[in-house]
Amino acid sequence: MPALVLVFGPKEAIPIVSVAALLAAISRTGLNWREISWPVVKWHTFGALPVSILASFLFVITPPTFITRALGVLLLVFVVFRHTHWGRERNLGLRKFALVGAGTSFVGGFLGVPGPLRAPFFLAYGLTGMAYVGTSSAAMLFAQTPKLFVYRGNELLGTEALAVGLALGVMGFIASYIGQWIAKRASARLFQYLVEGLLIGGGVLLLFA
């Protein structure tokens, strides 16, 4: 996301990422099918679907500069949240994932971030490794799809954006296999450090670019 924002701008980059993320989610869901926590996915989707559509319409009318800065701040805030009392809470009930789905899908649809916003909640629930990748990918798959119709209907998903997104999606299939190999070998603590490191790097880049 940060690299694409710098190259294309947020209004073009976010639809591209949405296409690529959808294709990557399909491959990661398939690769980690047996590890997925389907109850989490069900409750997350219940809250995510209607809010994702509303947030996507708000994205269409929002100034690009605001999106870039807000996105950078948001990624950093979620890393900090992860280390608060609430972020470390592991007693996150399944039904609360409806609220997680609604909240993260609103911000994700408004700012175009498909995955990182859900990371603290999935990690706090105790999902790591392949279970984390599979569950978050399945949840993303259901939350991402409505956004593409909104972008397409408002001429934000043109031929170039679709082509770049599809190309990145194909690369995502390859990356999914590499990621699965890493997830099988990384400890739970190392896995959390890797996820948070990516969030911090992306947040700083977007905030000061």
User: How large a percentage of the chain has pLDDT more than 70?
Assistant: 91
Quickly state the pLDDT bin for 96 (edges 50, 70, 90). Answer: confident
Q: Which of 132, 11, 138 is nearest to 71 (CA)?
A: 11
Alpha-carbon dihedral angle through residues 197, 200, 206, 209, given to the nearest 10 degrees = -90
Higher pLDDT, 187 or 86: 187
* Residue 86 pLDDT exceeds 70: no
At 7 the pLDDT is: 83
At 24 the pLDDT is: 80
At 58 the pLDDT is: 80
**What phi and psi, each to the nearest 5 degrees, are found at residue 145?**
-55, -45
Give the CA count within 13 Å in the CB-facing half-sphere of 77.
10
- Most confident of the ranges 17-21, 37-41, 63-67, 71-75: 37-41
Q: Look at the alpha carbons of 96, 147, 127, 76 in this order and tell me if their dihedral is positive or negative.
A: negative
What does pLDDT average to over the chain?
Answer: 79
* Residue 90 pLDDT exceeds 60: no
Q: Write the pLDDT tens digit of every residue in 123-170.
A: 778 787 788 888 888 888 888 777 888 887 777 778 888 888 888 888
At 91 the pLDDT is: 60
Angle at 103 between CA 101 and CA 107, to 5 degrees: 115
Q: Write the pLDDT tens digit of every residue in 101-130.
A: 888 788 777 766 656 667 778 877 878 778
Higher pLDDT, 87 or 83: 83
Q: Which of 100, 101, 95, 97 is nearest to 48 (CA)?
A: 101
DSSP tally for the chain: helices H, then strands E: 10, 0
CA–CA separation, 131 vs 207, rounded Å? 31
